[in-house]
């Protein structure tokens, strides 16, 4: 699967098996970074470390579209320091229990000559390689990592997705607002699953709800590579809970048929960003009607959705049906390009030094496009880039200081429909 065409991205060098996206928890001490390389004014080079295979593959199309559109917009405005931005490597993060894939992917992006590594999508994958990549002095950023443990993990790591504390709070409060007082969890044993489950549970319990099954410490989590869920569904149903929260990735496609087979009312089901996807082609109409889910980030506006659909069709020959993390991917590339423009250099250290500034951490004039922001920078102005995802300036932990969480409800065609946005500070 190719990532970006030469037409839209300029020179493209594919490394390893090419192609192109979320999330999770755990902590770690900030990694030491290697001495910065000498300042460079060559072309800005980006490598991607994204899920070309595995259960996160369904998130790839919108992220591919977001990156592609950002490159088109940046290069149409003259590029960075007069040169087109280049994608020089597309490495695979994989998923599941096999960590050798992401380890090889980390080696590939380090060897690529890139100044910025976009990825990984899975928080657990990022946690596994972030010290290795940033320790080489490379800048790394994700559109979808939500693990609280990644906050401040390295000066060379940042993200445009908010941590789990924001999404977990929003979804838990939606469950409470719906009048649910007893909740069951089905959670896979992954940093993302455990971290998000724990946050949701904490808010639910503070709001007076009880956890009837799958609570922290009970040991009911299942392996990431499990494919049959009869026992878990039976136990969740037997708990008598009036709501079921499912924290997984693509495992949801095996869980839903089991829920149906056991007569669970799917309108009582709540999903998260790792599995809130369109299932029109997967299940009978009406299967998921009334189920709800949360997705971090702003809802892509109609004009941006049209752009994403068109560029995905043109570059990848498919139909784009989801926009999850497309705004965040677009903003990642744009923020890095603006930081390089402000720094007057394209090496990792120079870009990192200006990341927070171009997002408005020091104030500045608000701007919404690379072209407008670059023009202000070139005239000596401070800027506050407010991008497609609508997040606030980067804070001291390199997290967005504020973010929006979308609440979605499934319609008769098994597609999630945006209901409202919940704003949250981080």
- Please tell me the predicted confidence (pLDDT) of residue 22: 33
Closest by CA position to 268, among listed 233, 244, 234: 244
Give the predicted TM-score (pTM) of the model. Answer: 0.84
pLDDT above 70 covers what percent of the chain? 91
- Stretches where the chain sits below pLDDT 50 are 1-37
3-state secondary structure of 326: helix
* 6-162+301-394 CATH, one of 3.40.50.2300, 3.40.50.720, 3.40.190.170, 2.70.98.10: 3.40.50.2300
CATH architecture of the domain 165-296+404-425 equals 3-Layer(aba) Sandwich (3.40)
pLDDT in tens, 354-396: 999 999 999 999 999 999 999 999 999 999 999 999 899 999 9
Q: Beta 292-296 vs 402-410: how paired, if at all?
A: antiparallel
Distance (Å, rounded) from C-alpha 193 to C-alpha 190?
Answer: 5
The residue whose two tokens read 């065609």 is 413
- Please tell me the predicted confidence (pLDDT) of residue 54: 81
Long-range contacts of 251-256 (CB under 8 A, 24+ apart): 251/55, 251/188, 251/224, 251/226, 251/227, 251/275, 252/277, 253/279, 253/282, 254/227, 254/228, 254/229, 255/186, 255/229, 256/282, 256/283, 256/287, 256/288
Closest by CA position to 369, among listed 345, 395, 387: 387
pLDDT in tens, 292-337: 999 988 788 999 999 999 999 999 999 998 899 999 999 999 999 9
- Please tell me the predicted confidence (pLDDT) of residue 155: 98
3-state secondary structure of 202: helix
Range(s) within the chain of domains with CATH label 3.40.50.2300: 6-162+301-394, 165-296+404-425
DSSP code per residue over 23-91: B-----PPPPPPPPPPP--S--EEEEEE-SSSTTGGGHHHHHHHHHHHHHHHHHTT-BTTB--EEEEEE
């Amino acid at each position: 699967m190719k990532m970006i065409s030469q037409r839209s991205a300029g020179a493209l060098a594919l490394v390893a098996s090419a192609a192109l996206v979320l999330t999770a928890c755990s902590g770690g001490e900030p990694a030491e970074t290697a001495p910065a390389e000498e300042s460079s004014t060559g072309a800005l080079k980006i490598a991607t470390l994204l899920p070309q295979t595995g259960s996160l593959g369904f998130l790839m199309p919108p992220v591919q579209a977001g990156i592609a559109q950002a490159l088109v917009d940046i290069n149409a405005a003259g590029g960075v320091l007069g040169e087109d931005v280049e994608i020089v490597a597309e490495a695979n993060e994989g998923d599941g229990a096999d960590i050798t894939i992401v380890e090889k992917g980390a080696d590939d992006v380090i060897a690529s000559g890139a100044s910025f590594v976009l990825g990984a999508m899975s928080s657990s994958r990022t946690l596994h390689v972030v010290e290795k990549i940033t320790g080489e002095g490379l800048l790394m950023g994700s559109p979808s990592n939500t693990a609280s443990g990644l906050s401040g993990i390295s000066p060379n790591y940042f993200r445009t997705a908010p941590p789990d504390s924001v999404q977990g709070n929003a979804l838990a409060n939606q469950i409470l607002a719906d009048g649910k007082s007893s909740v069951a969890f089905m959670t896979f044993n992954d940093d993302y699953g455990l971290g998000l489950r724990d946050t949701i549970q904490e808010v639910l319990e503070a709001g007076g709800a009880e956890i009837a099954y799958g609570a922290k410490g009970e040991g009911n989590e299942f392996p990431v590579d499990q494919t049959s869920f009869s026992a878990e569904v039976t136990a969740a149903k037997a708990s008598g809970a009036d709501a079921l929260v499912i924290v997984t990735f693509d495992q949801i496609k095996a869980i839903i048929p089991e829920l149906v087979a056991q007569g669970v009312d799917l309108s009582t089901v709540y999903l998260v960003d790792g599995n809130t996807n369109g299932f029109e082609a997967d299940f009978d109409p009406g299967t998921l009607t009334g189920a709800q889910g949360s997705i971090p980030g702003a809802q892509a506006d109609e004009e941006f959705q049209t752009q994403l659909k068109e560029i995905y069709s043109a570059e990848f020959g498919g139909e784009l049906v989801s926009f999850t993390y497309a705004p965040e991917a677009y903003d990642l590339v744009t923020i890095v390009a603006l930081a390089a423009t402000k720094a007057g250099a394209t090496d990792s250290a120079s870009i990192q030094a200006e990341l927070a500034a171009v997002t408005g951490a020091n104030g500045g004039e608000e701007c919404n496009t690379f072209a407008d922001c670059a023009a202000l920078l070139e005239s000596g102005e401070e800027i506050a880039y407010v991008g497609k995802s609508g997040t606030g300036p980067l804070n001291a932990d390199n997290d967005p200081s504020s973010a929006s969480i979308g609440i979605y409800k499934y319609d008769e065609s098994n597609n999630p429909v945006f209901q409202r946005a919940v704003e949250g500070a981080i």
